[in-house]
């Protein structure tokens, strides 16, 4: 079996295609289940963000796997395969590992170095584990990708040079002015209370907005976030005790608690009443349709014009981080509105900043360091996987040798029935030591050879030379995958309990 990834991102496809291909609702779960039901795949995981859709699978046939995964992506996104194919990329085996590790480090992000992707990879793994579509290979791969991403951020300055998509979007709206100066004293409306919206709310609170309204379909979640950000109980829910502070977003928000901030929570169907009073609107929901239509926006502007100014900004700033979009693209053409959406961010990210010479040089140096980390980690992961591939064969070989010893000792008992227990024990231990010494060097060496590129064939050679039962090898593999197999990957006399 081999690792295969088929996907597309902001680097391979226009935002208009990504928007139409977004996996909404329970489509991710359905895609995983259908992938596992497909002939070539035995494991599957999907990484879906606002600017990428990637399907990872353990397959036994490359061409059949590419065809099947491409077809499944088309079916579940609703975009025709003929239209989708030109934008899809394919990575296989070590290249697939290299791709995911690069993604985890933020090298493939729209904003290089952003760290939100780690949470999204964690979510992708959690979904695969929940649905039992992620087996040993994908569990190992995604967990190692998380470790590599964390290593890149701790050992280099890439996270200092990089930004979150939220910060980048707010900087685009601020138009060169520091975000804190631009946002200070304004009224902000955040639609949604997921990880991206929570980050937006936290960032706006930190930037100094005077009032923050969080609108969400589930009011309790919005209340929890609003309460964490404010120095008092959130409005519209002061009588509701919200004690659950376990969520990561709530803990991060609590660190940004501002006693002077007015934070309120409203149901999402109350957005229309809040919109005329907002200077900044950030939306990131999982809605399948528009959250703010052109009519909603024009109505809000009309009502806004009829209200006392009260220090409100002349232009309403809109940031749409959803995929598919939450805010009607017609906002680009409406006077009094400024919309920054995923498409705008993609264009801005692709445009060099003439004023960032020194910072760009620092970022380039950090990117080079991260690439070195990724390359080293890919090599180490490949070696570990290749070595693990031969472990069931080695265990099966030692099991067969132990069976031979047991059989010969039993035969000896029949021929020499007068042996006392001490003699029988000494003979048994001697024979076992001989077998262990004969097998020790070859098994250690074959593990070393198997960890090298192209070393997968050593397991086949071992099975052929010793005429090992394929079913016995498969049984060890199944037991090892379930975590209940013998720790026989270690050499019997290895005090470290060695790893394959």
Give the residue numbers annotated as catalytic, written as ranges. 50
**Tokens 């309120």 correspond to what residue?**
264
What is the distance between the alpha carbons of residues 274 and 265, in angstroms, rounded to a whole number? Answer: 11
What is the distance between the alpha carbons of residues 56 and 51, in angstroms, rounded to a whole number? Answer: 16
CB 99 within 8 A of CB 11: no
Helices within 230-305 (DSSP H only):
248-255, 271-274, 294-305
Tokens of 399: 């099991």
What are the two backbone dihedrals, phi and then psi, of residue 206, each rounded to the nearest 5 degrees? -65, -35
Q: Which residues are CB-contacts of 102 (< 8 A; sequence separation ≥ 6)?
A: 108, 371, 374
User: Residues for the chain: how many in total?
Assistant: 500
Helix axes 116-130, 27-37, angle to 10 degrees: 50
Percent helix, strand, coil in the chain, to 5, is: 55, 15, 30
What is the distance between the alpha carbons of residues 38 and 345, in angstroms, rounded to a whole number? Answer: 36
Long-range pairs, 183-187, Cβ under 8 A, ≥24? 183/207, 183/208, 183/209, 183/280, 184/208, 184/209, 184/210, 185/209, 185/210, 185/311, 186/210, 186/279, 186/280, 186/313, 187/211, 187/212, 187/213, 187/277, 187/278, 187/279, 187/280, 187/312
What are the two backbone dihedrals, phi and then psi, of residue 93, each rounded to the nearest 5 degrees? 50, -120
CB 286 within 8 A of CB 324: no
Q: Distance between terminal CA atoms of the chain?
A: 18
């Amino acid at each position: 079996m081999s690792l295969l990834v088929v996907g597309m991102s902001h680097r391979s496809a226009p935002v208009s295609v990504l928007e139409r291909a977004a996996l909404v609702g329970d489509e991710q779960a359905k895609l995983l289940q259908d992938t596992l039901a497909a002939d070539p795949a035995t494991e599957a995981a999907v990484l879906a963000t606002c600017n990428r859709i990637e399907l990872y699978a353990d397959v036994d046939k490359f061409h059949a796997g590419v065809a099947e995964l491409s077809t499944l992506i088309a079916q579940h996104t609703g975009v025709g395969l003929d239209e989708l194919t030109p934008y899809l990329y394919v990575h296989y085996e070590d290249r697939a590992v290299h791709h995911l590790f690069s993604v985890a480090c933020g090298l493939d992000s729209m904003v290089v170095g952003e760290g939100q992707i780690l949470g999204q990879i964690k979510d992708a793994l959690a979904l695969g584990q929940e649905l039992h579509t992620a087996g040993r290979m994908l569990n190992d791969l995604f967990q190692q990708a998380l470790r590599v991403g964390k290593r890149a951020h701790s050992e280099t300055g890439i996270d200092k040079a990089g930004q979150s998509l939220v910060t980048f979007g707010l900087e685009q709206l601020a138009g060169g002015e520091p975000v804190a100066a631009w946002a200070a004293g304004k009224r902000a409306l955040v639609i949604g209370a997921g990880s991206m919206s929570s980050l937006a709310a936290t960032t706006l609170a930190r930037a100094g907005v005077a009032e923050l309204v969080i609108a969400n379909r589930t009011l309790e979640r919005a209340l929890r976030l609003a309460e964490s950000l404010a120095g008092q109980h959130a409005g519209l829910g002061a009588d509701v005790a919200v004690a659950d502070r376990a969520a990561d977003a709530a803990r991060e928000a609590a660190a940004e608690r501002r006693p002077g901030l007015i934070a309120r929570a409203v149901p999402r169907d109350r957005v229309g009443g809040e919109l005329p009073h907002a200077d900044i609107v950030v939306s990131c929901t999982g809605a399948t349709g528009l959250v703010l239509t052109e009519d909603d926006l024009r109505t809000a502007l009309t009502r806004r014009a009829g209200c006392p100014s009260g220090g409100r900004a002349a232009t309403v700033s809109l940031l749409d981080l959803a995929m598919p979009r939450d805010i009607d693209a017609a906002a680009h053409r409406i006077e009094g509105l400024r919309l920054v959406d995923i498409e705008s961010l993609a264009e801005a990210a692709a445009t060099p900043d003439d004023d960032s010479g020194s910072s760009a040089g620092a970022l380039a140096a950090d990117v080079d360091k991260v690439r070195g980390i990724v390359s080293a980690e890919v090599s180490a992961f490949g070696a570990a996987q290749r070595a693990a591939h031969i472990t069931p064969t080695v265990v099966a070989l030692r099991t067969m040798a132990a069976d031979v010893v047991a059989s010969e000792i039993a035969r000896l008992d029949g021929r020499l029935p007068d042996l006392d227990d001490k003699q029988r024990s000494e003979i048994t231990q001697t024979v076992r030591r001989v077998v262990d010494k004969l097998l020790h060097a070859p098994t250690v060496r074959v593990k070393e050879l198997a960890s090298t590129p192209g070393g997968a064939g050593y397991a086949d050679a071992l099975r052929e030379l010793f005429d090992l039962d394929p079913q016995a090898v498969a049984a060890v593999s199944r037991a090892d995958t379930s975590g209940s197999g013998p720790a026989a990957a270690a050499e019997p006399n290895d005090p470290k309990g060695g790893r394959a």
